[in-house]
């Protein structure tokens, strides 16, 4: 088996026809950000703007995510962001299980390359395919799980916050919990780009 690399991953995603989602898309959306970040965000799949640009989380939901990161003083360029599926599902529907499972090959490669210490799972699809099918986002959001030294927390997808403002209070609690987890692991000051948790907002 070929050694994994970012070049191989990009080639593999661009050439992938492992599920029907590749038909009719404008661009594949592999993900982007700091390839050595200790913090990774995983969403569901590209939307219209992401499909047009080939970049993850650049539409309205992505802009909200950027503001949420700013609220805990994390520069977005210091984190890595991707999705469960790399092709936009028609009309933004939820990926089918066979589509998500096919694309997990790419996500496993990304995780092996980034080697994050903390992963935030944005929405039910990301949480279920990563933590297990029993996860319920309204019940389990904000709960930390550690697996093989990696801390994972589900929270609402930013698109859910755009549809229902009442969820923003819980999402803000989750962002503060993320900041506290990064501080407790000694990762916050690295990401924050300043020297110490005393600077935390």
Tell the smallest beta-carbon distance from residue 156 to ligand SF4 (Å): 23
- Other C-beta atoms closer than 10 Å to the C-beta of 142 total 18
The tokens describing 73, both together, are 């003083």
- Provide CB contacts within 8 A for 150, sequence distance 6+: 116, 117, 118, 119
Tell the smallest beta-carbon distance from residue 28 to ligand SF4 (Å): 6
Mode of pairing for the β-strands spanning 32-33 and 80-83: antiparallel
Q: Which is nearer to ligand SF4, 125 or 177 (CB)?
A: 125
Tell the smallest beta-carbon distance from residue 15 to ligand SF4 (Å): 9
Q: Which is nearer to ligand SF4, 90 or 196 (CB)?
A: 90
Residues that bind ligand SF4 (CB under 6 A): 13, 16-19, 21-22, 28, 85-87, 99, 102-103, 106
Q: Which is nearer to ligand SF4, 85 or 171 (CB)?
A: 85
Mode of pairing for the β-strands spanning 118-122 and 150-155: parallel
Tell the smallest beta-carbon distance from residue 94 to ligand SF4 (Å): 13
Angstrom CA distances, 8 to 33, 106, 110, 175, stand at 17, 10, 11, 33
Tell the smallest beta-carbon distance from residue 59 to ligand SF4 (Å): 18
Q: Which is nearer to ligand SF4, 17 or 173 (CB)?
A: 17
| CA-CA-CA-CA torsion sign (181, 186, 187, 193) | positive
Q: Which is nearer to ligand SF4, 38 or 46 (CB)?
A: 46
């Amino acid at each position: 088996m070929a050694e994994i690399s970012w070049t191989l991953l990009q080639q593999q995603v661009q050439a992938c026809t492992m599920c029907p989602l590749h038909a009719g898309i404008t661009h594949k959306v592999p993900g982007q950000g700091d390839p050595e970040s200790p913090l990774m965000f995983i969403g569901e799949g590209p939307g219209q703007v992401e499909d047009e640009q080939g970049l993850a989380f650049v539409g309205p939901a992505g802009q909200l995510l950027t503001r949420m990161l700013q609220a805990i003083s994390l520069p977005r360029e210091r984190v890595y962001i991707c999705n469960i599926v790399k092709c936009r599902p028609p009309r933004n529907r939820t990926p089918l299980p066979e589509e998500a499972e096919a694309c997990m090959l790419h996500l496993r490669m990304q995780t092996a390359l980034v080697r994050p210490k903390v992963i935030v799972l944005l929405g039910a699809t990301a949480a279920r395919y990563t933590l297990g099918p029993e996860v319920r986002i309204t019940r389990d959001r904000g709960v930390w799980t550690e697996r093989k030294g990696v801390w994972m927390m589900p929270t609402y997808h930013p698109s859910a916050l755009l549809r229902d403002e009442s969820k923003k209070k819980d999402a803000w609690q989750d962002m503060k919990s993320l900041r506290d987890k990064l501080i407790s692991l000694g990762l916050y000051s690295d990401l924050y780009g300043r020297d110490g948790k005393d600077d935390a907002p």
